[in-house]
Amino acid sequence: MSRDYEVIVGLEVHVELKTATKLFCGCEAAFGADPNSHTCPVCLGMPGVLPVLNREAIHLAVRSALALNCEVRPFSKFDRKQYFYPDLPKAYQISQFDEPLAEYGWVTIRPASGEGRRIGIRRIHVEEDAGKLNHLGQRLGDATGSLVDLNRAGVPLIEIVSEPDLRSAEEARLYLTELRAILSYLDVSDLRMEEGSMRCDANVSLRPVGYEGALEDLSRVEIKNVNSIRNVQRGIEYEVERQAEMLLRGERIVKETRGFDDATGRTYSQRSKEEANDYRYFPEPDLPPLVLSAEWIESVRQALPALPDAIREALVSRGIPPKDAEVLVLDREAYQYWLQATERFEDDRLVTNWMLSDVARLINARGESYAKAAVGPDGLVELLELIGSGKISGRMAKEVLEAMFETGKRAEEVVKEKGMSQITDEGAIRSIVEEVLKQHPAVIQDYLSGKEKALAFLVGQVMKQTRGQAKPDLVNQLLKDVIHHDYNTAQ
Amino acid sequence: MSELWAMDAYALHEQFASGAISAEAIVKAHLDRIQAWDSTIGAFLFVDAEGALRRAREEDAWTLDERRRRPLSGVPVALKDNIVTRHMPTTAGSKILGAFLSPYDATVVDKLMDAGAILIGKTNLDEFAMGSSTEHSAFHPTRNPWDATRVPGGSSGGSAAAVAARMVPVALGSDTGGSIRQPASYCGVVGMKPTYGRVSRYGLIAFASSLDQIGPMTRSLRDSRLVYGVIHGSDPHDSTSLTNVAEPIPSQEQRWRIGLPREFFGDGMDDGVRRVIDQALESLQGLGHELVEISLPHTDYAIAAYYLIAPAEASSNLSRYDGVRYGMRASGGDLLNMYETTRDEGFGDEVKRRVLLGTHALSAGYYDAYYLTAQKVRTRIREDFDQAFQTVDYIVTPTTPDTAFVLGARSDDPIKMYLGDIFTVTANLAGIPGLSMPAGLAAGLPVGLQWLAPPLFDAALLDAAETLERVLQPMPWPEEVKA
């Protein structure tokens, strides 16, 4: 396929804010309760109720906006977006239309090839979430009924709308990954795409080379509600391919909303935008405009934590390889684990190596996370200290770490129970070395004739005799010494 | 001693608080009165005789001190049926709410109960408060106690008629474009619309959120002051309720400059009404006040602006009646079918008319021409009042251009019905306080005089009107409901 078009992608990301209560009432906002147990007259849309804005939600939204380099408007307002659906109790969603909370931000993405690139954020606005429908039956098509759960109705959301600056599915992935990382450091949301606390719609269109019209006029396809970053990427990849083929065949691309099928990796048509809703937005008369003072906005800015860009820089300046730094920075829990560990242990590189290899492997295998790992940063530091003091070898430490994860015991305890201790007594090792050499004269000859592997065999034999507790460097050294001293000249 | 049901709330409370009479006797007297007359008048949609008597007996067990501390103890109160209550059904005058029982009480209900009021029932209204005659109730029309062939006005017609017919001394109404003041005028009672934000709207079934305001309907100005004193105040459940706003101190002058807007005294006013109003104005002059002609130049656009803004907000506020969670649900068909049938069967014609009008006004392509333009007019109207109150203390007008009309007279002509709101809608658009007080009779029917004041001058407004009440002839008894 000839590449005579450019991929244009814009993303709309909905993020549920981690407040104790909902946006306009005192109900708990937490996920996972019994259906309709987190409801009250206000979020059920009973006759006569009125919304009261949750201050904390605005605080979290402003934190997010500032961290994403947005300008926060000193004056914004709420509007009603109107449509009928059983998960929307008032038949309107309180949102922000033409005067959103914040505008003109950006996120920097770093494609593998080339420079970092700023992706514009057009706007961030605050709105309430809708409830959820649970359809009875196998598929929506033959559902026998639908149950409405309004626990989520009224949970605060921010919608982060990017400019159509993304040029590939990979860039969309980078943008989402970076966005999620930034928000994770702010601690404003659970950010769980599988639970719906972060949701993404992707707008995809192709711009033929030489096209000079407005981007808005290109036929745009919106892929709705994809449940993971990986699937957003897959959906865009598929959509680019599909649209490109249509263009090649000379077909017109229809402006529409499409879903993404995880199993097939394809998008499928949901509804045509030509017959789109008229949401009849108008200013919400039940809420006064939101007026934020410059001083307050500034105080929120001052209280922002260290964000990924600053952290990357700090890690690299501490000698962490950029690739490792990237892994740490994209997982806030990993970074916090790392921070705590390196506070107590000098060697940043060693901590990083252990974390990103053995600790990461065990956490993944056990389905844990850094924040809830069976072995926390203190445990890891204790283990590293045992290696540093020469009590155990690095190889032994791997076994000890596994046991620590398994039993929850501390490093020292595991070592004691297993009867492990590195034999560092030169005399003791020397006598074992001499014994082993006596038994393998042929191997000695191999070694002396230049076969390096022969030495490794001999080291293995000594380790076997000491049940792995001899210090490997020392064994190596002693084998060479004794061979050269006792056997070389005997030739 | 006069009959208990003939006394105003102020007197009833005094008698009860001094131990002279029991709350039970007060309630029984009013229940008897309802029993005797409401089949003629049709003011009530629900009477909670049992609940009111139970509450009365509880209050009878209170010490005199406890009675005194609660300014409405011993006083029966009726609520317009768009104010939600946990212990009585709420219909908003519509079929669409079905057998709805609110899971919570409106803030004004809590305040009334804390003040010792005895809730006696819910009064009739035009469906969702949309109307000026109470003929648009889904249940039955209410009749005017002065002439049962005539309407009581609306939409708070049930409350106005109940108070005028002495079935209850006090009722609450709601006023979006005149729905307290116009029926007060037609029924010869006092009706007050406070400054927007003075009284919490939490629990008032919304018609037009930026215009709705709850207020008292009584037979005396002192009663309106008493009830306003209880129900106003900031409410954490209502973000548009005013917080920490003290009553402004009115001019201490004994002589006021009273503005008479040219636009309100033009053609189209009934001669009888004009005569009564002129007499009242003479009385004001007699009190030493100066009458000044003023102009509110954007008055001509008020009805048009009001009938865009109010329906626009209503179309949104009434969307929640969709058959999904509560109220009526039509059966059969798919989701869209259920929505359509429920709303088609549940709403009356006037509500449908306004929902359609409002939906259209907010539609893409029409929003700027209709809704936005109407909002600009609203700003001009507010500025008109700001300017007028630079030079006058109060504004006085007739409440309506006419007296109560015969049932059915305007049913086929909604525009004529809408035009009847011409003198009242501007106060809602500007958010200022207004009240209607009885000024006399024209051809045996009450005529209301409207007072308007600057924002927040609610208490001052009540005081000002009371000075006139003192010098006017007391209103005679309504013909239809004599003792």
Closest by CA to B31, choosing from B192, B167, B195, is B167
> Which of A309-313, A420-424, B149-153, B355-359 bottoms out in mean pLDDT, i.e. has the lowest?
A420-424
According to DSSP, the β-strands at A156-162 and A198-208 are unpaired
Task: Give B92's contacts in chain A (Cβ within 8 Å).
Answer: 47
Question: Among residues of chain A, what percentage have pLDDT more than 90?
Answer: 62
Contacts of B308 in chain A (CB under 8 A): none
Going from the N-terminus, what domains does chain A have, and what CATH number goes with each?
A: 5-299 (no CATH), 306-418 (no CATH), 426-487 (1.10.10.410)
Position A274 scores a pLDDT of: 52
pLDDT bucket at A305, cuts 50 / 70 / 90: very high
Q: What is the pLDDT of residue A490?
A: 46
Mean pLDDT of B423-445: 97
User: Which residues of B belong to the active site?
Assistant: 80, 155, 179
pLDDT band, residue A223 (cuts 50/70/90)? very high
Query: What ipTM was reported for this prediction?
Result: 0.95
Give residue B275's identity as a one-letter amino acid code.
Answer: R
Predicted local distance difference test score (pLDDT) of residue A2: 46
**pLDDT surpasses 80 at B351:** yes
Q: Residue B197's closest chain A neighbor by CA?
A: A286
Q: B234-280: per-residue pLDDT in tens? A: 999 999 999 877 778 777 777 899 999 999 998 788 999 999 999 99
Q: A91 to chain B: which residues are within 8 Å by CB? A: 319-320, 322
* Distance between A360 CA and the closest CA of chain B, angstroms: 49
Band of residue A275 on the pLDDT scale cut at 50, 70, 90: low
A44 chain-B contacts, CB cut-off 8 A: 325
Residue A67's pLDDT is 98
Instruction: Say yes or no: B328 contacts chain A, CB-CB below 8 A.
Output: no
Confidence of residue A37 (pLDDT cuts 50, 70, 90): very high
Residue B48 pLDDT level (bands cut at 50, 70, 90): very high
* Residue A132 confidence class, pLDDT cut points 50, 70, 90: very high
Whether B427 shows a pLDDT value over 90: the answer reads: yes
Residue A93, both tokens: 């969603």
Mean pLDDT over B173-192 rounds to 98
Q: Looking at the predicted structure, is the pLDDT value of residue A276 above 70?
A: no
Q: Which of B201, B208, B322 sits opposite A50 (nearest CB)?
A: B201
Q: Which of A27, A84, A290 to mutate to test the interface with B (most CBs of B within 10 A)?
A: A84
Q: Which residues of B touch A281 (CB under 8 A)?
A: 362
What's the pLDDT tens digit per position in A78-108?
A: 999 999 999 999 999 999 999 999 999 999 9
User: DSSP assignment, residue A355?
Assistant: I
Beta bridge partners of B46: B122
Tokens at residue A263, please? 């199993």
A41:B371 CB<8 A: no
pLDDT digits (tens, 9 = 90+) for A184-222: 999 999 999 988 899 999 999 999 888 888 877 888 899
Establish if B322 touches chain A: CB-CB under 8 angstroms: yes
Is B397 within 8 Å of B423 (Cβ atoms)?
Answer: yes
Do A48 and B102 make contact, defined as CB atoms within 8 angstroms?
Answer: yes
Q: Rounded mean pLDDT of A348-354?
A: 92
What ranges make up the beta strands (E) of A48-174?
A: 71-72, 75-76, 79-82, 92-95, 102-109, 117-128, 132-136, 145-149, 156-162
Comparing CB atoms, the residue among A45, A86, A282 nearest residue B362 is A282
pTM for this one?
0.90
pLDDT in tens, B363-373: 988 999 999 99
Model pLDDT, residue B65: 97
- How near does any CA of chain B get to the CA of A50, in Å? 6
Question: Which of A21, A27, A49, A281 to mutate to probe the B interface, most B CBs <10 Å?
Answer: A49
Across the interface, which of A53, A89, A281 has its CB nearest the CB of B320?
A89
pLDDT tens-digit map of B147-157 = 999 999 999 99
Label residue A491 by pLDDT band (50, 70, 90): very low
B349 compared with A114, residue with greater pLDDT: B349
Of the pLDDT bands very low, low, confident and very high (cuts 50, 70, 90), residue A140 is low
CA B25 and chain centroid, separation: 28
Q: Is the pLDDT confidence value at B379 over 80? A: yes
Which CATH superfamily includes the segment(s) B7-252+460-469?
Amidase signature (AS) domain (3.90.1300.10)
Contacts of B334 in chain A (CB under 8 A): none
Chain A residues with a Cβ under 8 Å from any Cβ in chain B: 41, 44-53, 80, 82, 84, 86, 89-92, 148, 278, 280-282, 285-288
Domain ranges within chain B, ordered by starting residue: 7-252+460-469
Least confidently predicted of A58-62, A445-449, B376-380: A445-449
Residue in chain A closest to B366 (alpha carbons) equals: A280
Q: Which residue of chain A is at minimal alpha-carbon distance from B312? A: A282
Closest partner residue to B335 among A53, A86, A286, by Cβ? A86
Residue A459 has pLDDT above 50, yes or no: yes
Q: pLDDT of A160-182, one tens digit each?
A: 999 999 999 999 999 999 999 99
Mean pLDDT of A371-388: 90
